[in-house]
Structures are given as C-alpha cells and as structure tokens.
Amino acid sequence: MATSRLGAFRLNLPLASSAAPILVLMVLGMMLLPLPPLALDLLFTFNIGVSMLVLLSALSMRSFKDFVAFPSILLMTTLLRLSLNVASTRVVLMEGHTGPGAAGHVIESFAEFLVGGNYAVGVVVFLILTIINFVVITKGAGRVAEVAARFALDAMPGKQMAIDADLNTGAIREDEARKRRAEVGQEADFFGSMDGASKFVRGDAVVGILILLINLIGGVAVGMFQHGLDFGSALQTYATLAVGDGLVAQVPALIISTAAGIVVTRVSTDQDFSAQLGDQLAGGAQSFFMVGGILFLLGVIPGMPHMAFLGFGLLFAGLGWVISQRKTVADAKATAALAKPATASGEVDWNDVPVIEPLCLELPYRLISLVDAGDESDLIKRIRAIRKKFVGEVGFLIPSVHIRDNLQLPAEVYRFLLYGAEVARGQVLPDRLLAIEPPGQHTPVEGIAVRDPTYGMPALWITRERRAAAMTAGYTVVEPAVVITTHLDQLIAQYAHELLGRQETHELIDHFKTRFPKLVEETIPKLVQPAQLQRVMQLLLEEGVTVRDLRTVLEITAEQLARNAQPVDIVAPMRHALRRQIVQDVFGDATEYRVAGVQPDFERLIDQAVGEAAVAPDGALEPNLVRRFLEEAGAAVDELETLGHAPVLLCGLRSRLTLSRLLRRVRPQAVVLAMSELPPTAKLQFQRVICQR
C-alpha cells in the first residue's frame, strides 16, 4: 500500500517542476540519437519560436528581477542550437545525396528562400550574420555585463550600509531590509552570470562556422567517395544543405544575442523598453522637425532619390507634429489638474486629515542649516545613532524622529513635540560651541552664560576660536548638534513608556517571533493579549527598567495573567525576575552599594495608608507625610549624586511602587529598589536613612 501511495504522489507532481530536467535530457539526447527530418523541422521551428519569445520577454521586462533566469535560458538555448546542429549534421552526411530536402523542409526553405538557392551567397550571408553576432552584439553585451557585475560588486557594501541606515532610522522594517539585501546580492549574481553566459554565445558562433565547414567538406567527400557523385553535383547539394543548416541555427542565435544585449544595456525603471522609448522620444518633437527638414532638403537636390528622401522627410515632420500635439494636450491637462483644487467647492477629504507624528523636532530658520546636508548632516547622523543605542539598551525601536521647520519659533530656539504637544525646548547658537563648566574652581572663559538645556548645568556659548582655551580650563565643549541630540536622548529615556505604542508592540512581537516562535504561539494571544503586554512593558519603562529580556517579560506576564493578576500587580514579580538586570543597570560592576534607606516605621505608615491597593490614589496619603518624604528623599538623592554614587533609595517590597511614583515627581533620575531585588551577597552602605522619628 505504501508503494502505491508513493507512486501516486510522484505522478501528481506539477509538470512545471519536471519540465526543465526533461528538456535538458532531451537536448543532450538529440546529440546522440538520430532524428528523422520531420522531427528536425519541428525542433527548428520550436527553436525559432523560443528565440522570439525570449526577445519579446527582454523587451517587456522592467528590471533584471523580472528575468533573473535569463542567463540559464541563454545556456539552454545555446545547447538546443548545438544539439540541433549535431543532429542535422548527422542527417546531412547520411542522407544528403538524396537532395536538398534530405534534412527536412525548414533547412531546405532557408537555403532556397533566404539566399535564392545560391550557396555562394548563402555562405557570405552566413559569415556576415556570424560576424555581426560574434564581434558586435555578443562581445558588446559581454563587456557591458562584465562592467555591470564589477560595479555591482563595488557598490554592494555601500548599498548594504544604506539599507542598514534605513533600518536603524525606522524607514523600513526588518522583512523589507532582508528583501533589499537579497536584491543587492541578486543583482551582482545576475550580471556576473550574464558575463559568463555571453561566453557560451560567442563559442556558439565559432562552432557554427566549424559545423558549416564540416558539413561542406565532409558532405562533398561523402557524396564523391561513397555515393559516386561528381564534384559539381556534390558541392551544389551539400553546400546548399550546409548553408541552410547554418542559417536556420544562426538566425535564432542572432535573436537571442540581441535579447541579451537589451537586457544588460537597459536601465532599470518601472517601465518596459517600449514605454521608455516612447517617453524619451515624446519630448523630442523639435528633433523630429529638424530631421524631417534635413531629409526634405536632401530630397530636392538634383540627382538624389527624391521619392525616398521627400517621403521620409514628410513622415518625420508628421511624427513631430503628432508628438507636439500630444504634449500640448498633456500640458493642458496638467494645468487643469493644478488649477482644479483652487476652483473646487471647498470640500475636504481624508487627505486633509493631519497625521500626528509620535516624536517631532521643530527647528527655527537659523537652525535649518544643521540639516541642510540631508541624511549626511551631523544632526541626523547623531539622531540615528541615538535610536540605535536605544534599541540596544532598552529593547524596542522607537518611532522615527520627524524633523520640520517652524518659522514661528524664536530664531535660535528648538522644541520637541510628543504626539503633537511640546515636552521640551532649548536654545542653541549654530555658530558657537557650548562649554559646560566643570565643578569647583576653574579659569573663567569669555562667553554667553546660559544653562545646559538638558540637565540645567551652568554653561557658556563660546566662539569656535576659544575651543582650545575652554578645554584647557576643564570645560566640556560640544557642538550645537550634540546639545540637541543629548536633549533628545534624555527625553527618549524619560518618555520611553509613551513611545511604546500598540504599533511598536506588534512589531516587537513579530520580531521576537522569528527567534522564539513556540513561546509566542503558546502565549499570544492565548494567554496574553498584545494590549496587556504593552501595558506591562509601559509600567516597566516608566520606572526605567528595560525590556531587552522580552522572553522573561512574556513568560512572567503569561504566568501572572493566568492567576487573574492585573498589569500593575505584575510589576513586582517582573522586577524580581529581572533583578540582576536592574541591579547591573543601576550599579554597573560595583560590588559595594551606597544607598539611602527609608525608616521601616515610615514605610508602615505608607502601607497602612495605601491598604491593599498597589498604589495610593491622589489624596490617600496624608500631605504632611508626602511633603516630608519628598524633602528628605530629594536631599538624599542630591547628596548621593554629589558624591558620585547612583541615586538609589532602598525600601521594602510593599511600599516600593508607591514611593517610586512619589519620588519621580521631584527626582526623575532617582531609582527606588526593594531589598528583595538586591543579590544576597550585596554589601550595603547607607549614606543616610530618611523619615526617622
């Protein structure tokens, strides 16, 4: 039973999948097996039809991607012609003494009709076609393919870098990037294959000449010595057959070579060859008029063929008139299309609905010079670098930063918009440098005193000539573009939880699915809805916890939601699962942790006020408790930062979330950790304990 099923499966294979191997075997078989004249007629006709099909396909292609199989087709058609030459040579030498129709009617027709039965003229025509194919078309196409392959290989690194840059900026997605990388490699492979395949066609031209000589010399010898023909009769019979055989193979070869030349010489656009030619000539009405006038003048010169020159002069002039009329009509339609919105009834459509960008940078007119160079400008390069750094540090790709001008802003003031609302602004002087003052005593430097727009540190806008003096005095000197991008970096970290929208969540899931498909299939959406996962990650990002370890985030979320937990209730077990990552992000490689602590009695007051809720609603905590906590915690954080330590406040697990949300109101950079989140071997040193009785 198993054998019969397997046989049925093989019989049901698509014909297209087995057509190519069968064709190759048939081509090779024709070189070895004798064929009757009728089979030769059919195969020669098939060869001519295939060559025309290839030529028309080459004319209709828009890019090399539409005909990537062309090099292999070039090889197959060459082998087909050679196998037919071998098969026809066998018939010519064996049956040629019977007359010109011995090798079939196709060879006889080519010998009689194309050259009028004159084998001497046929030999000359055959040699001319072979030389044209070998010296002009094939050699030129091979040279173009060689140069194109070399240029494609040289340009490959730059194209790959451009694809990576678009991917990093969010202009394209990962699947589109993979598709473009494959196309870049495919282009180099295609032209390299065309360079090699052209050698087959050149070799075919040489073999065609040799086969003609073999048929001619061998046929005369066979006719004279084996069949008793005289030299004149043998030469007439076998030369006619040899010429017909050569022409019936050389004409398709010339067509295929022309198709190869068109493929490698045309420029890839979204139009085929005919459309390209029509568009190129559509704007050349003046050229048609000039050509028509020149031909008309030549036609009126005495002694010239008046009918031909005057006729084509009128033809070109008429084509010029037709083209000019079409251009006039097209221009009128374009003008009417442009004028139509101005005369419309004032109706609006969906194109008038503005699309709010998630993150936008607005520049005044004096700062437009920072992005004049487009993608090569320093500001745009640094923004790309920030997005790439954010992906590696936080774990998801933020939306692209939309940059636009705003002439209503003060001349040197930029601002950042988050979903259309301003979240920050700053001032930069494009022709100066920002020198941030070092702590302690330092040598004063002449400049415009300001505050760093990112962190509010004292700074100076200095001229570029004073860079060296400022750096010698200990100042940190940065370019205007660095000031803006540093500000952007701080804002992205601060509003990361808002930048993780539903679209970014789905894209993150799709990307993660390529690495852990089983985990995603079992959890999303069976156990975890994308909206729930988004909310959990937003809560983590709001507290400065990265979501790089999406595997742990997804597993813990699925486990907790199975227990009917709410997203806010998942934060504590999630932080415990990510505790090593959190501690490393906060303290780095340090082995001793200097922190500020909260008095346990104060924590108990907070716990009593909060009750069973995960976080106290507004007004649930006594204002005096909140004010006392914020004052003492803020002072402790400032003290730790002054001493060069991480601004960390240590408390119990139950009150951690409430105290963290309170402290972020006044010290967004502060980190509130639970004691259970620290490793058991942690060496703690308390800088101070706040809220003591």
pLDDT at 685 over 70: yes
Taking only Cα atoms into account, the Rg of the chain, rounded to an integer number of angstroms, comes to 40
Residue 117, Ramachandran bin (φ over 0: left; ψ between -120 and 50: alpha; else beta)? left
In the predicted model, what is the mean pLDDT of residues 674-682? Answer: 85
The number of angstroms, rounded, from the C-alpha of 169 to the middle of its chain's C-alpha atoms is 12
What is the pTM for the complete model shown? Answer: 0.52
pLDDT at 552 over 60: yes
pLDDT at 177 over 50: yes
pLDDT (tens digit per residue) in 298-309 = 777 777 676 777
Provide the pLDDT for residue 414: 92
pLDDT at 317 over 70: yes
* Nearest-angstrom CA–CA distance, 63 and 266: 9
Residue 289: count other Cβ atoms within 10 Å of its Cβ: 17
pLDDT at 9 over 50: no
- CATH number for the region 359-498 comes to 3.40.30.60
pLDDT (tens digit per residue) in 50-95 = 778 877 777 777 766 666 777 777 777 777 777 777 777 777 777 6
In the predicted model, what is the mean pLDDT of residues 617-626? Answer: 67
Provide the pLDDT for residue 337: 61
pLDDT (tens digit per residue) in 371-384 = 887 778 888 889 88
- CATH number for the region 501-690 comes to 3.40.50.12790
**3-state per-residue secondary structure call for 545-583:** CCCCCHHHHHHHHHHHHCCCCCHHHHHHHHHHHCHHHHH
* Nearest-angstrom CA–CA distance, 53 and 366: 60
pLDDT at 224 over 80: no
In the predicted model, what is the mean pLDDT of residues 445-462? Answer: 88
User: What is the share, in percent, of the chain residues with pLDDT greater than 90?
Assistant: 2
In the predicted model, what is the mean pLDDT of residues 436-456? Answer: 84
Q: Residue 478 forms beta bridges with which residues?
A: 434
In the predicted model, what is the mean pLDDT of residues 99-127? Answer: 66
In the predicted model, what is the mean pLDDT of residues 311-316? Answer: 76
679 — pLDDT class (breaks 50, 70, 90) = confident
In the predicted model, what is the mean pLDDT of residues 570-596? Answer: 87
